[in-house]
Amino acid sequence: MEGTMPFTQSDLAQITAHGLSLAEIERQLELFRNPPEPLSIDRACTPGDGISLFDASRERPLIQAFEEAANKGRFSRFVPASGAASRMFKNLFHSAAALEQWLNDGNCPDFPFHQQFFRHFSKFPFYPALKDCLQSRRQQDLDLLLQQRNLAPALAGLLEPWGLDYARRPKGLLPFHAYPDRVRTPLEEHLSETLKLAGAEGGPVRLNFTVSPEFLEDFQQAARLAGEQIPAVNSRPIAISFSCQHSSTDTIAVDLDNRVLRNERGELIFRPAGHGALLDNLEKSGGDLVLVKNIDNVVPEPQQPEVIHWWKLLGGKLVEIQSRVHAILRRLESSANNENCRAAETLLETLGLPASSHGDKAPRSRRDQLLQRLNRPIRVCGMVRNSGEPGGGPFWVAGRNGTTPQIVEMAQIPRDDKRAQQALAAATHFNPVLMACALRDHHNRPYRLSDFVDEQAIIITRKSEQGLELKALERPGLWNGAMAGWLTLFVEVPEQVFQPVKTVNDLLRPGHQVTCN
């Protein structure tokens, strides 16, 4: 399929209404036709080679640096929260055989996931809500159903539209933790955590969630209630904001032969382009120093002090690195002398980025190159030791600007690339999405984050939608190619800070139990 794809006037109107341009659509189609070369994975980042370990003797200064910046109101939070809970409950969609075994025998060893779910059914934080739902809408007693081992009505009430409809709801609004007097959602736990991170001084504590437009009002209402129910740690007000992924970040869908796909009405099909589309939301949040974490990675309040401690270390390290980078940038702008250039090169080496050989370059040319390499957003990313959890991880990736530390998704690692597979086998850590990001330059001007994206770091996947087999294009991931051009530092953090809920049974893990001493 060569040349320009012909579009009708109706197509062009649809493209424009979606906030896209014909040139952007043609760019996307060209990526389908001629996908970029896969990432060139050099090796895994490991302790001492791309991953730093916190020195216990440095903890107090780092925490102090964080708290000083927090007291000035510099820190805010950014939480991607638009995902539905469908994957969380997908193992329960086909449960007939397991339900029958459980009803007959009180046991279903052939279905270990269901067995764990059934055995601990009353321990889930949604049990009270489900009990009320069944009683009010079906006049059924959940306690009695549990005694009779008749859980089919309970699953229907949990998943079907007439009931709680949890598989369609966003994770951020589901009951995650059962306290003695009430349950809390991930939204509430993020709020609780953010208040504990806030300093005693400064303006409002800012917390931004990216959400689906369909559930925006639900999130807004939940935030108002949460603000009334969660006690403030200090007198600072909380400013919760919401943003939605813009349709202009969507990508066009094609069939397996790379021809544009249309629905039954003859319209073009557009799809959300993955979490990389949230880069615009991150930039428009207006943050200075921003802490990024996924919506489902939360712990109950009694376990939050450990998470707070590591957030302060990550944030303090960011403040420390940014201070050094900004000081060097100011020196370089004032003078291109050899002392300033050498200091900049030393800092680059500290970040694992050996300075390019300057050879016989004139001082100004050398200075300009160093300014270009250092004047960019910064991120300090926590990395957890591998323990069987899924997800991408830290690798050294070869590119136009040399070999740099990057977060790489599993889907980006070619299966037929022996070197890349060896690097994957040698990996010691994975990415929990725990990042402290600096979004402003040494003049306090916000960076244009799109300037630092590796536009070639896309992912093409095969999907099924409305009975159609299609190929979908994902933009460079938010913490992957979208941040490929950032100054990046990886540091090890403990597994206690990573407590995601990928399946409903994860709510039974110790990290999600409220233990009151």
Distance of CA 148 to the CA centre of its chain: 41
Q: Could you say which residues of the chain have pLDDT below 70?
A: 1-5, 202, 231-235, 355-361, 388-391, 516-517
Q: In what helix (H) or strand (E) does residue 65 lie, and over which residues does it extend?
A: helix 59-71
Instruction: Decide if 315 contacts 77 (C-beta within 8 A).
Output: no
| Interhelix angle 127-138/152-159, nearest 10 degrees | 100
Instruction: Decide if 252 contacts 275 (C-beta within 8 A).
Output: no
Residue type, 150: N
Residue 516's pLDDT is 52
Interatomic CA distance for residues 318 and 490, integer angstroms: 11
Residue 350's pLDDT is 86
Residue 118's pLDDT is 98
Residue 351's pLDDT is 87
Reduced to 3 states (helix: H, G, I; strand: E, B; else coil), residue 73 is coil
pLDDT digits (tens, 9 = 90+) for 158-167: 999 999 999 9
pLDDT digits (tens, 9 = 90+) for 189-226: 999 999 999 877 767 889 999 999 999 999 999 999 98
Residue 517's pLDDT is 45
Interatomic CA distance for residues 44 and 397, integer angstroms: 9
* Global confidence as pTM: 0.94
pLDDT digits (tens, 9 = 90+) for 77-98: 999 999 889 999 999 999 999 9
Residue 360's pLDDT is 54
And the tokens for 1? 């399929």
Torsion of CA 12, 14, 16, 19, to 10 degrees: -150
Residue 222's pLDDT is 96
Query: What fold characterizes domain 9-85+173-512?
Result: Spore Coat Polysaccharide Biosynthesis Protein SpsA; Chain A (3.90.550)
Q: Residues for the chain: how many in total?
A: 517
Residue 237's pLDDT is 80
Interatomic CA distance for residues 152 and 400, integer angstroms: 57
Interatomic CA distance for residues 127 and 175, integer angstroms: 9
Q: Which residues of 51-64 are buried (b: 16+ CB within 10 A; e: fewer)?
A: bbebeeeeeeebbe
Interatomic CA distance for residues 246 and 267, integer angstroms: 19
Interatomic CA distance for residues 334 and 319, integer angstroms: 23
Ranges of each domain in the chain: 9-85+173-512, 87-168
Strand partners, 423: none
